[in-house]
């Protein structure tokens, strides 16, 4: 094995493995180091996303929704079934099979692109040197012209609810549950809490989400957040806002959670399983030597500029370990940008147009600015809203909950944001992300021909509604 590279990538999650592949494609001698090991103790690529994050959670979300639909929603289509049951072990095994397929796929991509793949731990030293220790304990010093840090993030621990891996689990442990808990508590009602809550709510658990914030999904457009909360409560999820957990006690197979409720009263609730998902923190443990020259910001993230350069020459950092939303696709695009900039190109990411999705059913998706952000900035804007209840395609699919909201600049009509809760929201919002990248106006979308009947027509009607021209619903304000 060579000790000298053009590029060393530390971490093989969505940010790191993409950076390594793109660097190799550009003719740079590249190695990618990953410390993750599977249940057999074997080194695997993919990081959190492929192993215990995006992919496995979506597998369980899809499996649980198919079960829920078969059990509760097929009769409206005239389909009659007998008793519907689910084998949770088979569901989890399917999830694991998908993980193996994808992690093996990364190994294949590394091979075909000429990326050297190493498993073990890495530490950044001074002068672009990396201390690499194999899982067997062998140590080597690697050097490179450029080092890309892509070490990702880890679940945040809270002292009042210590994860024990059995009765109290984090988001990773929640993916391995093979028996439906009768009473499931979730601390945190953010993206991860809602997705995991959806899975077990569909499978028959009584789900209670305990959230310290007094606003539901405070980071998204609040009209969409209110509609989303209404839908989830209708589905049976118990969402308790402004509730701060003060302690947990495990006794036998039960967990008692105490918290101060919205009225300031001390309250307790008993659960059979507790999931802690209060957010994620950047992973920098044992990563940086004191003389590496790389600085952290006030939140423990690696400090970088808009091009993902750190404070040390030739050292870059991407993905969850740096500023910005902790999204796999954001990290991947940063990986491409950094690889291309190392190769001398001038690639730049438009951070204003990064879609964000919650993969519940219905999905929640957004791109661009919210109405609250625009109000705070004092910007003038117009809003177009269209409900899925008025969509023929949504009616045909028996999937009519939610709405599309499109926001455009009042003077230029340029699209500023799109926020959706509803079926296929992630794919619909992507249409607007593409339009925004090209500087489209609401009128541009309104004048585009959309196929009928499709869910995409909801986006078309919302664009028409921005200027009071919606066809399939009354307009709040008509303009000439």
252, two tokens? 């036998």
Looking at residue 458, what is its pLDDT?
Answer: 98
**Same domain flag for 274 and 370:** no
Please check whether residues 380 and 459 belong to one and the same domain. yes
For the segment 272-313, what is each residue's pLDDT rounded down to a tens digit? Answer: 999 999 999 999 999 999 999 999 999 999 999 999 999 999
Q: What is the pLDDT of residues 172-201, one digit of tens each?
A: 999 999 999 999 999 999 999 999 999 999
Q: How far is CA 153 from the centre of its chain?
A: 12
Within 8 A by CB and 6+ apart from 454, the residues are: 393
Whether 302 and 367 share a structural domain? no
- The band of 269, judged by pLDDT with boundaries at 50, 70 and 90, is very high
What mean pLDDT is predicted for residues 329-334?
98
What's the CATH code of the domain at 332? 3.50.50.60
What's the Rg (C-alpha) of the chain? 24
Does residue 347 sit within a domain?
A: no
Query: Does residue 29 sit in the same domain as residue 140?
Result: yes
Q: Which one from 361, 452, 460, 469 is the annotated catalytic residue?
A: 452
Last residue of one domain, picked from the residues 239, 255, 278: 278
pLDDT greater than 90 at residue 480: no
| 445 in any annotated domain | yes
Is 116 among the domain residues?
yes
- Number of domains composing the chain: 3
Quote the pLDDT of residue 2. 74
CA distance 367 to 380: 18
| Same domain flag for 131 and 172 | no
Boundaries of domain holding 182: 159-278
Within this chain, do residues 216 and 303 fall inside the same structural domain, yes or no? Answer: no
Q: Is the pLDDT of residue 211 over 50?
A: yes
Is residue 471 included in any domain, yes or no? Answer: no
Q: Is the pLDDT of residue 478 over 90?
A: no
- Please give the Cα distance from 134 to 12 (Å, whole number): 15
For all residues of the chain together, what is the average pLDDT?
A: 97
Is residue 474 in some structural domain? Answer: no
Task: Calculate mean pLDDT across residues 87-110.
Answer: 97
The DSSP line for 307-371 is: T-B-SSTTEEE-GGGSSS---HHHHHHHHHHHHHHHTT------TT---EEE-SSSEEEEEE--H
How many helices and strands in the chain, by DSSP H and E?
A: 12, 21
Residue 473 domain flag: no
Closest listed residue to residue 45, CA positions, set 133, 116, 119:
119
Question: DSSP states of 59-102 as a string?
Answer: HHHHHHHHHHHHHHTSGGGT---S-----HHHHHHHHHHHHHHH
- Please indicate whether residue 452 is annotated as part of the active site: yes
Q: Model-level pTM?
A: 0.96
* pLDDT exceeds cutoff 70 at 477: no
Residue 479 falls inside a structural domain: no
Using CA atoms, how far apart are residues 148 and 20, in angstroms rounded to an integer? 9
DSSP string, 206-230: EEEEE-SSSSTTTTS-HHHHHHHHH
What are the tokens at 346?
């001038």
* Three-class SS of 136-201: CCCEEEEEEEEEEECCCEEECCCHHHCCCCCCEEECCHHHHCCCCCCEEEEECCCHHHHHHHHHHH
Rounded distance between C-alpha atoms, residue 53 and residue 84, angstroms: 28
Shared domain check, 85 and 192: no
Percent of the chain with pLDDT over 90: 98
Identify whether the C-beta of residue 247 lies closer than 8 Å to the C-beta of residue 258: yes
What would the pLDDT profile of 38-97 be if each residue is shown by its tens digit?
Answer: 989 999 999 999 999 999 999 999 999 999 999 999 999 999 999 999 999 999 999 999
Residue 479: its pLDDT value, please? 46
Would the CA dihedral through 330, 331, 334, 336 be positive or negative?
A: negative
Residue pLDDT, tens place only, 368-378: 999 999 999 99
């Amino acid at each position: 094995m060579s000790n000298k590279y053009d590029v060393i990538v530390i971490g093989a999650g969505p940010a790191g493995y993409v950076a390594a592949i793109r660097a190799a494609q550009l003719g740079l001698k590249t190695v990618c180091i990953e410390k993750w090991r599977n249940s057999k103790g074997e080194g695997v690529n993919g990081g959190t996303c492929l192993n215990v994050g995006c992919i496995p959670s979506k597998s369980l979300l899809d499996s649980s929704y198919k079960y829920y639909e078969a059990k509760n929603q097929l009769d409206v289509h005239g389909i009659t079934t007998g008793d519907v049951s689910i084998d949770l072990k088979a569901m989890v095994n399917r999830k694991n099979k998908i993980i193996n397929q994808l992690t093996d796929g990364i190994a294949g991509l590394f091979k075909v692109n000429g990326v050297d793949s190493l498993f073990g731990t890495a530490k950044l030293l001074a002068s672009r040197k990396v201390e690499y220790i194999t899982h067997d304990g062998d140590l080597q010093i690697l050097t490179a012209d450029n080092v890309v840090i892509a070490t990702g993030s880890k679940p945040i621990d809270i002292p009042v609810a210590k994860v024990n891996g059995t009765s109290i689990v984090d988001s990773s442990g929640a993916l391995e549950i093979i028996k439906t808990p009768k009473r499931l508590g979730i601390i945190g009602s953010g993206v991860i809490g809602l997705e995991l809550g959806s899975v077990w709510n569909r499978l028959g658990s009584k789900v209670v989400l305990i959230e310290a914030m007094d606003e539901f999904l405070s980071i998204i457009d609040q009209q969409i957040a209110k509609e989303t909360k209404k839908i989830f409560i209708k589905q049976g999820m118990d969402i308790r806002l402004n509730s701060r957990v003060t302690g947990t006690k495990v006794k036998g197979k039960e967990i008692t959670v105490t918290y101060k409720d919205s009225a300031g009263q001390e309250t307790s609730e008993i659960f059979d399983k507790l999931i802690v998902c209060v957010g994620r923190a950047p992973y920098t443990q044992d990563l940086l030597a004191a003389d590496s020259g790389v600085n952290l910001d006030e939140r423990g993230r690696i400090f970088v500029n808009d091009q993902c350069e750190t404070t040390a020459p030739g050292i870059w950092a991407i993905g969850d370990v740096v500023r910005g939303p902790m999204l796999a696709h954001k990290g991947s695009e940063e990986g491409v940008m950094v690889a291309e900039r190392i190769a001398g190109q001038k690639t730049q990411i438009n951070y204003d147009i990064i879609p964000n999705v919650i993969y519940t059913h219905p999905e929640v998706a957004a791109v661009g600015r919210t109405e609250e952000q625009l109000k705070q900035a004092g910007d003038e804007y117009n809003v177009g809203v269209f409900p899925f209840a008025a969509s023929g395609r949504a009616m045909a699919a028996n999937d009519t909950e939610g709405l599309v909201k499109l926001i455009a600049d009042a003077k230029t009509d340029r699209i500023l944001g799109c926020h959706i809760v509803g079926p296929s929201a992630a794919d619909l919002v992507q249409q607007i992300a593409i339009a925004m990248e090209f500087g489209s106006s609401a009128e541009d979308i309104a004048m585009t021909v959309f196929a009928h009947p499709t869910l995409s027509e909801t986006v078309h009607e919302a664009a028409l509604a921005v200027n009071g021209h919606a066809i399939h619903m009354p307009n709040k304000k008509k303009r000439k």
